[in-house]
């Protein structure tokens, strides 16, 4: 057992490196907000040759193995699993909350059909572990919005949330019925500098940093006092791999674990940004995403994840803001120099 340092100098928990180097991990939806960061993170841990990134389109400047995959095509998925002797699948492909409302039936179809393809191909090929990302969108109405518990009655209000809640139950079903080792977290809104988010209700909390760094006024699509659960990408990635590497016997949840991070409102985030950019300006123009946010919890209780596999977030709002501003500042400065 050793301690592993990631490229951004974070230490993740001790893992058995010899066991980990024998894994071949297929990441589906690798070009998205999470996938872009996760593939590099997994490469640092398991070795770049062991990570097979895949998405609908090739990724520019991808350093490592990449396969074009539309995961609605189960046959192609099956071919890739066999070709690369895949042992684990991270299934990230989905249509997210805000975008999903534009075409509910297509969103349901894509989000659930792709997951069934993953489950069935994994079952046929004896895949050892599957990671499925769920969301705080599963809670919806009638949950304690101040601190959504691990075990809650789920009344999701978006088609995205409905598809995630159904998929959580299918994960549990495949675990119980076929003994498949499926692991999942309910991610809060994820904040990252590596790539832009893909149409979720928490996207404002990423866009705001880009505007602040560029010295522009930010128009926020949520009201100033809308609290939502969020998490910094470093914490999200570390939590994901810690869950995937936890001993199976420790896991009491086979639907999806609440992954707690931080909770804040747009006005609190603005106050944090102004510690580094005192002139930063924000205006509030809530749109249809406000009603989605109003149906979501303000914070989630991650105590079961803590109890079962030691989950502990590291980034508070100011630590996150500082790093976001630094990293995006470097990025924009580099792109100006390259012009």
Ligand X SMILES: NC(=O)c1ccc[n+]([C@@H]2O[C@H](COP(=O)([O-])OP(=O)(O)OC[C@H]3O[C@@H](n4cnc5c(N)ncnc54)[C@H](O)[C@@H]3O)[C@@H](O)[C@H]2O)c1
Question: By the criterion CB under 6 A, which residues form the site for ligand X?
Answer: 28-29, 31-35, 55-56, 69-72, 92-94, 96, 114, 133, 135, 187, 189-190, 197-198, 200, 202
Pick 84 or 277: Cβ nearer ligand X: 84
- Give the closest residue to 211 by CA, choosing from 270, 286, 275: 270
Pick 156 or 189: Cβ nearer ligand X: 189
What are the residues facing 68 on neighbouring strands?
A: 55
Per the residue annotation, which of 160, 174, 175, 227 is the catalytic one? 160
Which residues are CB-contacts of 281 (< 8 A; sequence separation ≥ 6)? 217, 218
Which residues are CB-contacts of 90 (< 8 A; sequence separation ≥ 6)? 25, 26, 27, 28, 38, 42, 130, 131
Instruction: Tell me the closest approach of the beta carbon of residue 171 to ligand X, in angstroms.
Output: 13
Q: Give the phi and the psi of residue 170 in degrees, each rounded to 5.
A: -65, -35
Q: Which position has the token pair 């969108």?
A: 137
Instruction: Tell me the closest approach of the beta carbon of residue 21 to ligand X, in angstroms.
Output: 26
Instruction: Tell me the closest approach of the beta carbon of residue 278 to ligand X, in angstroms.
Output: 28
The reply to whether 160 belongs to the active site is yes
Pick 69 or 243: Cβ nearer ligand X: 69
Pick 202 or 272: Cβ nearer ligand X: 202
- Is residue 190 within 8 A of residue 33, CB to CB? The reply is yes
Q: Give the phi and the psi of residue 188 in degrees, each rounded to 5.
A: -75, -175
Q: Point out the residue whose Cβ comes nearest to ligand X.
A: 32
Instruction: Tell me the closest approach of the beta carbon of residue 3 to ligand X, in angstroms.
Output: 27
Supply the residues annotated as catalytic: 160
């Amino acid at each position: 057992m050793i301690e592993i340092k990631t490229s951004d100098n974070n230490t993740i928990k001790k893992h058995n490196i010899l066991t980990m180097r024998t894994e071949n991990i297929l990441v589906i939806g690798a070009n998205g907000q999470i996938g872009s960061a996760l593939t590099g993170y997994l490469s640092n841990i398991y070795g770049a040759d062991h990570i097979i990134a895949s998405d609908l389109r090739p990724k520019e400047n991808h350093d490592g193995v990449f396969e074009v995959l539309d995961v609605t095509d189960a046959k192609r998925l099956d071919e890739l699993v066999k070709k690369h002797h895949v042992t684990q699948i991270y299934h990230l492909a989905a249509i997210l909350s805000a975008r999903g409302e534009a075409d509910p039936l297509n969103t349901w179809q894509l989000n659930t059909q792709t997951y069934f393809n993953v489950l069935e191909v994994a079952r046929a090929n004896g895949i050892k572990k599957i990671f499925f990302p769920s969301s705080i969108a599963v809670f919806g109405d009638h949950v304690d919005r101040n601190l959504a518990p691990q075990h809650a009655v789920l009344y999701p209000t978006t088609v995205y949330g409905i598809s995630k809640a159904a998929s959580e139950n299918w994960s549990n079903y495949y675990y119980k019925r076929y003994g498949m080792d499926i692991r999942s977290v309910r991610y809060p809104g994820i904040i990252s500098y590596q790539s832009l988010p893909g149409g979720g209700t928490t996207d404002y909390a990423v866009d705001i940093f880009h505007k602040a760094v560029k010295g522009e006024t930010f128009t926020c699509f949520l009201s100033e006092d809308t609290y939502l659960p969020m998490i910094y990408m470093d914490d999200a990635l570390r939590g994901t791999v810690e869950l995937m590497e936890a001993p199976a016997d420790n896991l009491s949840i086979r639907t999806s674990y609440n992954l707690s991070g931080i909770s804040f409102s747009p006005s609190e985030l603005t106050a944090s940004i102004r510690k580094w950019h005192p002139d930063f300006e924000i205006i509030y123009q809530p749109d249809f995403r406000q009603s989605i946010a109003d149906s979501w919890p303000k914070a989630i209780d991650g105590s079961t994840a803590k109890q079962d596999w030691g989950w502990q977030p590291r980034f508070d709002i100011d630590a996150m803001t500082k790093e976001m501003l630094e990293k995006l500042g470097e990025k924009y400065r580099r792109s100006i120099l390259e012009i």
